[in-house]
Amino acid sequence: MHQNKVIHCDLKGANVLVDHNGIVKLSDFGCAKLFESSFSMSDFNGAIRGSLPWMAPEVVTNKGIRRKADIWSLGCLMIELAVGGNPWGS
């Protein structure tokens, strides 16, 4: 995804699909952006996009969106899979 200059911006368990052969695919690219160097929140018209429990701190604090934000979300996804629920509890 990042090799194709796409930032997903909403990685979470609900957006990961696995078929009967174990092939993993991502879904819901509604928040995705084409990568330039980084994005400020003004690029998103001031709206936070994505799901807060999986969102990187720099996204929540309006410091911009970079590919690293997807890596943070992937880590949260791993926690979600390990605990079987919201990565940071309720």
Q: What is the domain partition of the chain in residue ranges? A: 2-83
| C-alpha dist (Å) from residue 27 to 8, 11, 46, 62, 90 | 9, 9, 24, 25, 24
Residue 9 has what pLDDT? Answer: 86
Residue 62 has what pLDDT? Answer: 81
- The domain 2-83 belongs to what CATH superfamily? Transferase(Phosphotransferase) domain 1 (1.10.510.10)
The pTM of this model reads 0.76
Residue 51 has what pLDDT? Answer: 85
Write the pLDDT tens digit of every residue in 17-73: 999 999 999 999 888 888 765 555 455 545 566 788 898 888 888 887 788 889 999
Residue 83 has what pLDDT? Answer: 92
Torsions phi, psi of 5, nearest 5?
60, 40
Residue 50 has what pLDDT? Answer: 77
DSSP annotation of 78: H
Active site residue 10: yes
